[in-house]
Amino acid sequence: MPEQTNDMEKNDLNNRKTQWYMAVTPAIKLEFMEYSQILDYIPEHLLNTKALQIDLLIIKKDSDTLIENEIGSRQKI
């Protein structure tokens, strides 16, 4: 019986959704702190009327401002 309980606990852990955005959102805000005046953050933005959603949508309000950052910079190909 203990083996069954252990397997059930493992399945329960595997079926849980990781709420990683709770850590990523503050980290992204910290990374883009100097651009806070031109960025809006919308957590858990719904993409459709169904269950589709993204964890974080970042909207750049000023298209003329260049973001010089490893995450936000535009790379030329």
Q: What confidence score (pLDDT) does residue 33 get? A: 92
pLDDT in tens, 29-70: 999 999 999 998 887 777 766 666 677 888 888 888 888 888
| Contact in structure between 43 and 56 (CB atoms under 8 Å) | yes
The residue ranking higher by pLDDT, 54 or 8, is 54
Count of CB atoms situated within 10 Å of the CB of 67 = 15
Cα distances from 12 to residues 5, 9, 22, 55, 69, in angstroms, run: 11, 5, 21, 22, 39
Facing residues of 59 across strands? Answer: 40
Greatest extent of the chain over all pairs of C-alpha atoms, in Å: 64
